[in-house]
Structure 1
Amino acid sequence: MRILKYMGMTAVLCIGITSCFKEEPLNAECDIEKAWIHYENPQESTWNLSDTVIKVYSAENTIIFKVRPGTDRTRLAPMFITTEGATIVPESGTMHDFSNGPLAYTVTSQDKDWQRIYNVAFTEEHRTVRDTIAYDFERVFLFTDPQTKKQYYKWSDLKEDGTEANNWASGNGGFSMASPSAKADEYPTTPNADGYDGKCVKLTTTKTGPLGQGARMPMAAGNLFLGSFITQTALIDALRSTHFGLPFDKKPVRFTGYYKYFPGEKFQDRYGNIEEGRVDKGAIYAILYKNHDNDGNPVVLYGDNVQTSEQIVAKAIMPEVRPTSEWTEFDLSFDYYENEIDMEDINNFKYSLAIVFSSSDQGAYFQGAIGSTLYIDKVKIICEKTK
């Protein structure tokens, strides 16, 4: 009997040990996490050395390396880090011709069940010729988020050479996670046909769904800004999900445009408590900042420091977005903190410009009034004339 009991215990132990050594399921992720390039003459090929390394976020399917005009793009060998066990075709580090446009790379997951295609491009970054940069918000399209599989609106502009800029971002990606059942026209940032001239952008502070409520993010302000939004961190660290600003090679002096604004009826905090007597406020501002620190490391501004960072050299902030049902012009001057701007650094894209619009100025902290609505159209950045 003891022998049988011992044999039974041994069998159980063996089963337990076997289960401990059971193979883990193969990874189903098929993402590029980082891309980089080595140039023989980096100073002649790129404006900034930091442009040779790109961190790739999961919502992005396009990887763009910016190069100086005239850079030889016929023999380049970008390298990639992918998610664990994934394979990439063409192989990382192989030489290819990028002079005729993007090259498609296919990433296959370790379990072979999933694939994802990335378009990798090397685009010439030309210095801006115009002294006035205009944004009319006519180029709007439905974007399918590769992470949430939801569709929402995005905006872009054409560069002077006719290529797509893909310069505008919003918090729509975060809203797609907080309110997964919402339709594209129910998102906080949407197009509107009744602009000052043609289409405009409509920004609305909107109630989120159960996921947003549970994460103490009961609302999402409509916003639009130059920069990028990182969808996968939106419900974890919303303030750091907004990356404000893009490299800019002019000295801006004025920031103009047209707006309409309607504050919502009841202002509430992030816990849903109504604050009697408090009226919501919109936000319209532009920031110029140094995009590298003193050690040459790249810098980007976030939701928690976009107006306070020590990297800021100039601001153009509308002190009060007054409620108005008529299209109203704003014309703001850039207030410079430094007497002298390094024009060589300006010419080498070492400053970034952030333009920010929001239907609730405290929206980054999930405070505001549901229904607050800001319309924006015909925005211009007027720069110091090139000598």
Structure 2
Amino acid sequence: MKRYFYTLPLLAATLTLSSCFKEEPLNSECDITHVSLHTDNPLATFYQLSDTARDVLSTDSLISFEVRRDHEADLSLLTPTLQLTPGAKAVMTGSEVDNATGGKWYYQVVSEDGHWHRNYTVEVRPMARMTNDTVRFDFEHYELEPKGHYYVWHILRNDGSSAGDWANGNPGFSLSMGSAKPDEYPTAPLADGYDGAAVKLTTRSTGPFGAMVNKRIAAGNLFIGTFDMASALTDAMKATHFGQVFDRQPMKLTGYYTYQPGTTFQDPKGNTVADRTDQAAIYAVLYRNHDDQGNAVTLYGDNVKTSPQIVAIADMGMVKPTKEWTPFSIDFNYLSDIDLDLLKQRGYSLTIVFSSSADGDQFEGAIGSTLCVDKVRLVCKKEQ
């Protein structure tokens, strides 16, 4: 299990010097870092060649692969190939495979020093095309993560199974403010929303540690994609991986919101910027998830609105402050035509993004800015 240590330069130098005089301890990490699946004819089973392999984030315990509903391979013949952190060992503890419903392989990974272990599930799931013209996001399905530090949200299908998770920056906030209570994190549930539960996004101070590295604020955010905690300190822009595969043509993003900006806008060094008022962000992006050479593409914080892979954007722009639940409706602006064949081959990905501070990724904003969102709908083009 990955653990992160933050020390002053003097302590770091002391530890470096002491390592010259004693043996390096055995590795205590017990992570799967990469999984691949082999089949003789991958395009008869998977939608894209890149779908056969997956990097694994340090926070992942469920590793999912999607195959064609009419796949030709015998899924029982698939054997996951695992890459592990140095010295770790993996043992398969069970499996269950059905060609119609998919398969699961269960692993326990034990660290080199033998003191730590993690349980993983590798899942293969046959996927049919989405049939609904309107995708609903009501933020009712949330829970505390396994350690109980902060909340996570799930996106569910009509049959109740998980279609993935909403990601947010709470894992990064935990590195600097680990003593915070779950409701004090930037992204938290709001029990009394527009209709049932909503999500509450608040720009928070990251405390003394954040001040040391000029990352003094953490904007409340929620987005479709994944958050890579390993990159949160070294390259914050690469920590946010935007998008999941989407096989319909989105036309409009709607929902309800409230927004109140914080009183004092500050730059990354903590200086007050007197003539600036914080702004929230509400937008969605549809993009091609492979380049012209067939390489898989993911958008990050530094190109989520500028990548040449982008096909359409729905951006609210100015999010007017309001204490009352207020409806919003944003049309998608298409920069190029949709390739319907590519759409059927799951060649597009979509993200929806909410943030209490639009420039929070630059660590600029106002502590206390609060954006609440509920009853979000993604309206897609009806197919004949």
Query: TM-score surpassing 0.5?
Result: yes
Q: Which residue of 2 aligns with 1:124?
A: 126
- 3-state SS of the aligned residue for 2:150? strand
1:66 Cα deviation after fit: 1.1
Q: Which residue of 1 aligns with 2:310?
A: 312
Describe how 1:257-272 pairs up with structure 2 within 5 A. 257-272=255-270
- 3-state SS of the aligned residue for 2:164? coil
Q: Which residue of 1 aligns with 2:346?
A: 349
> Structure 1 residues 98 and 216 mapped into 2: Cα distance closer, same or farther (>3 Å)?
farther
Q: Which residue of 2 aligns with 1:98?
A: 97
The count of residues paired between Structure 1 and Structure 2 equals: 361
1:150 Cα deviation after fit: 5.8
Q: Relative to structure 2, which stretch is displaced further, 37-46 or 189-198?
A: 37-46
Matched, 1:382 2:384: no
Q: Relative to structure 2, which stretch is displaced further, 134-143 or 23-32?
A: 23-32
Q: Do the aligned partners of 1:89 and 1:107 also contact (CA within 8 Å) in 2?
A: yes
Structure 1: gaps spanning 5 or more residues: 1-18
Q: Do the aligned partners of 1:216 and 1:271 also contact (CA within 8 Å) in 2?
A: yes
Q: Which residue of 2 aligns with 1:369?
A: 366
Q: Which residue of 2 aligns with 1:250?
A: 248
CA distance in 2, matches of 1:293, 1:80: 26
CA distance in 1, matches of 2:280, 2:26: 48
CA distance in 1, matches of 2:95, 2:292: 35
Describe how 1:159-170 pairs up with structure 2 within 5 A. 159-170=157-168
CA distance in 1, matches of 2:268, 2:186: 17
Structure 2: gaps spanning 5 or more residues: 1-18
- 3-state SS of the aligned residue for 2:237? helix
CA distance in 2, matches of 1:311, 1:283: 21
Q: Which residue of 2 aligns with 1:4?
A: none
- 3-state SS of the aligned residue for 1:165? strand
TM-score normalised by the chain length of structure 1: 0.90
- 3-state SS of the aligned residue for 2:271? coil
Letter in 2 for 1:177: L
Q: Do the aligned partners of 1:28 and 1:114 also contact (CA within 8 Å) in 2?
A: yes
1:123 Cα deviation after fit: 1.2
TM-score normalised by the chain length of structure 2: 0.90
1:208 Cα deviation after fit: 0.7
Q: Do the aligned partners of 2:260 and 2:323 also contact (CA within 8 Å) in 1?
A: yes
Runs of 4+ with deviation above 3 angstroms: 19-24
CA distance in 2, matches of 1:175, 1:60: 18
User: Identity over aligned residues, as a percent?
Assistant: 50
For the aligned residues, what is the CA RMSD? 1.8
Matched, 1:57 2:54: no
Q: Do the aligned partners of 1:179 and 1:210 also contact (CA within 8 Å) in 2?
A: no
Q: Which residue of 2 aligns with 1:66?
A: 66
> Structure 1 residues 161 and 39 mapped into 2: Cα distance closer, same or farther (>3 Å)?
farther
Matched, 1:273 2:275: no
CA distance in 2, matches of 1:20, 1:336: 59
Q: Which residue of 2 aligns with 1:195?
A: 193
- 3-state SS of the aligned residue for 1:157? strand
CA distance in 1, matches of 2:366, 2:25: 46
1:311 Cα deviation after fit: 0.7
Q: 1:204 aligns with which of 202, 210, 214?
A: 202
Q: Do the aligned partners of 1:155 and 1:166 also contact (CA within 8 Å) in 2?
A: no
Q: Do the aligned partners of 1:250 and 1:384 also contact (CA within 8 Å) in 2?
A: yes
Q: Which residue of 2 aligns with 1:285?
A: 283
1:371 Cα deviation after fit: 0.3
CA distance in 1, matches of 2:91, 2:196: 43
CA distance in 1, matches of 2:127, 2:362: 35
- 3-state SS of the aligned residue for 2:163? coil
Cα offsets for 1:185-235 (capped at 9, x unmatched): 100000001211100000000011222221211000000000000012111
CA distance in 2, matches of 1:21, 1:232: 29
CA distance in 2, matches of 1:102, 1:200: 33
1:21 Cα deviation after fit: 10
Cα offsets for 1:330-370 (capped at 9, x unmatched): 111100011x2101111111111110000000000000001
- 3-state SS of the aligned residue for 1:81? strand
Matched, 1:358 2:355: yes
CA distance in 1, matches of 2:350, 2:58: 24
> Structure 1 residues 84 and 117 mapped into 2: Cα distance closer, same or farther (>3 Å)?
same
1:277 Cα deviation after fit: 2.4
Q: 1:136 aligns with which of 132, 135, 138?
A: 138
- 3-state SS of the aligned residue for 1:151? coil
